[in-house]
A and B are shown apart, each in its own frame.
Chain A
Amino acid sequence: DGGITQSPKYLFRKEGQNVTLSCEQNLNHDAMYWYRQDPGQGLRLIYYSQIVNDFQKGDIAEGYSVSREKKESFPLTVTSAQKNPTAFYLCASSPPGAITEAFFGQGTRLTVV
């Protein structure tokens, strides 16, 4: 089955630790995105990548880092510099030529304890 897989579904982290969220897609999509969702709010863009080895900051990139070494994978690292990392994180991808974020993963809920 084609789709976007985010793992893990739930993640707990101690303050001061970096943590990496996985996002893998087998849809052959060029563009991939990371969003953060907080209760009662819409999605906010953290980073996006249009092609391999290239990525751009979104509105709230501070405290986060990404890499895009392979077309299928776009991992997000939440660093200790992110002041309020507890949130629901969503990865998305879109095919070539499309101008919409068409497909989302199931999300990772990160809780800092």
Chain B
Amino acid sequence: GQQLNQSPQSMFIQEGEDVSMNCTSSSIFNTWLWYKQDPGEGPVLLIALYKAGELTSNGRLTAQFGTTRKDSFLNISASIPSDVGIYFCAGRKDSNYQLIWGAGTKLIIKP
């Protein structure tokens, strides 16, 4: 099935650094979602985006719905140890369509 292109695959960062990751598709989406998954747990919804160009924040996290509707971006400012985990993007083409998922970006903080 279709999968979103999520990059980078993994990131090694220092505590306090800002983080950027993105998700792209060849198709237009009406909804973009960003989830975080801790090891052995289910994903937790971080941010939902419903309109092209929309910029939404959740604490230190900011996500944007790309103006072409084919991409989305997630930024984390001033990373802390509890930010480690896997971040997934997911997109939906219309309200009755199932979610399409990216393969995830694994965030690792260097000791």
Contact = CB atoms under 8 A, between A and B. Distances in A.
A binds B: yes
Nearest to A101: B99
Contact of B98 (A45, A103, A104): A45
Interface residues of A, number: 24
A42 B103 contact: yes
Interface string B86-108: 00101010010011011110000
Interface residues on B, range: 20 to 34
Nearest to B106: A40
Contacts of B42: 4, 6, 90, 92, 104-107
A89 to B, nearest CB: 10
A1 interface: no
A42 B45 contact: no
Interface of A: 4, 6, 40-45, 48, 58-60, 90, 92, 99-107, 109
Interface of B: 1, 3-4, 6, 31, 33, 40-45, 48, 88, 90, 92, 95, 98-99, 101-104
Given A42-B88, A60-B1, 16 more contacts: A4-B42, A6-B42, A41-B104, A42-B3, A42-B104, A43-B88, A43-B99, A43-B101, A45-B98, A45-B99, A48-B98, A90-B43, A92-B42, A100-B33, A100-B92, A107-B41
